[in-house]
Structure 1
């Protein structure tokens, strides 16, 4: 049996999850899902804490995967807008389900501590 490299996979689910699990990726997709097409600067402000370099890298990866489109307008200054493609819009239900689950998990448990606080504590220990 030969070993597969990181890039090679026979499982479509694995390839999709690797793409979506990249740093900041789901956050970027969620913002584009909620707000629609956005200019680069607006998107950067919405994704608190991301560097311009990382945002550019993530957007290029998503553009290559045909999940995000890039629209360039030759103006002064140049205007670049990013939004979800038809393929990206197919992720709506998945993103909405993840949002619902995150909100559910963020509710308080019986000890009065939110699950997200509990997870944060366990990660730091």
Structure 2
């Protein structure tokens, strides 16, 4: 008899689930800057993340919004105004991102001392 595997969309590993939501070059930085500034417009994010292309920024903020980590507020005016802020779920990540920031600073300092 042929067995059929049941496919589910449920995450199998919490660590994998978390890194899929915040992994990548820009997501953690966007969350961190939104924490520091509370609310940022698209142009502010673009200036703050000078190494990101407009296409990548748009894709990344959409993913963060789809994952419920940031809120996108659209103001129907001319010119269009869009503001981004952390959701409650996004804000829960800040202590962990801050810990990673501190760890990164320490590692950079250790590398500097080695040279």
Matched-pair contact (CA < 8 Å) for 2:72–2:83: yes
Selected match of 1:19 from 18, 21, 28: 21
Cα distance in 2 for residues equivalent to 1:53 and 1:110: 34
Runs of 4+ off more than 6 Å: none
When residues 16 and 111 of structure 1 are mapped into structure 2, their CA distance, relative to the original with a 3 A threshold, is closer
SS at match of 2:51: coil
SS at match of 1:32: helix
Cα distance in 1 for residues equivalent to 2:51 and 2:102: 23
Q: Which residue of 1 aligns with 2:76?
A: 74
Structure with higher RCO (Cα < 8 A, 6+ apart): 2
SS at match of 1:71: strand
* RMSD (CA atoms): 2.3
Cα distance in 1 for residues equivalent to 2:36 and 2:91: 11
TM-score using structure 2 length:
0.85
Cα distance in 2 for residues equivalent to 1:76 and 1:110: 49
Aligned residue pair count: 111
Which stretches in structure 2 are left out of the alignment for 5+ residues? none
Cα distance in 2 for residues equivalent to 1:96 and 1:59: 20
- The 5-angstrom pairing of residues 1-125 of structure 1 reads 9-109=11-111, 112-113=114-115
When residues 112 and 61 of structure 1 are mapped into structure 2, their CA distance, relative to the original with a 3 A threshold, is same
Of 28-37 and 98-107, deviating more is: 28-37
SS at match of 1:55: helix
